[in-house]
Chains A and B, each alone.
Chain A
Amino acid sequence: MMAKSDSSQVRGADTSKVPRPRQSQPSPDIKDQIGRQLKAMFDAVANEPVPDRLTALLDRLDQEPTAE
């Protein structure tokens, strides 16, 4: 990976093979934090009471013949 820029030029700068500028991987702390936040965001909505209109819809659809 080191000194890649030199060698890749020699080989005609096939940029598709050259690793993109190394983006520093997130530290384990940041990774944890991302995971925690994603879950918090998702669960915040998932833990809300289901709006009546959605359960009512299922009740209504249930009365109708499902075969179409």
Chain B
Amino acid sequence: MSQSGLAPDGQIKRDLVAAIPKLRAFAVSLSGNRDRADDLVQETLAKALRNIDSFTVGTNFLAWLFAILRNVYYSDFRKKRREVPDSDGQFSATLTSKADQDDHMEFLDFRKALQLLPSDQREALILIGASGLSYEEAAKICECAVGTMKSRVSRGRTRLGQLLGASPIPD
């Protein structure tokens, strides 16, 4: 399959393909819009390939890709942010259709609550709570100190707890 022998392109491509699902998940979390999320991932993949030389071997490839995606989002996509995603509409509907039936209501409430957080806290919670990256990696992605990342996660959790606690959800 790899015609070029030692050329790492085949491996890079495999790594990129393997990263796409998580890139999409992160992109949806950031943009709150599924179509835009795929544009975001597309741009990220292209950019990653163009700049593959700047990846430091031995570091977390996914974290590197997340950083690219985040930069693409904040540079190219923030302008369009006025078009606030319809959190009750198509987006949530698609998402909840994937969720467990039992979690249905719970899930909608959670999404709404998450959208009410400042974006830095939301992003921190997603990176730490969902993507499986470390605080160090997440801090690097967001270009902030590790302590700042910890505090964002903590404040985000507290706020979410308040929002969710207002309507307790039976377990």
Contact = CB atoms under 8 A, between A and B. Distances in A.
B141 interface: no
Contact of B42 (A29, A31, A54, A66): A54
A61 B46 contact: yes
Given A30-B164, A38-B126, A48 B49 contact: no
B142 interface: no
Contact of A41 (B41, B130, B171): B130
Interface residues of B, number: 46
A51 B165 CA distance: 37
A44 B126 contact: no
A11 B74 CA distance: 42
Interface residues of A, number: 34
Contacts of B131: 42
Interface string A30-67: 11011101111111111110110111011001100010
B24 A53 contact: no
Contacts of B28: 45
B46 A57 contact: yes
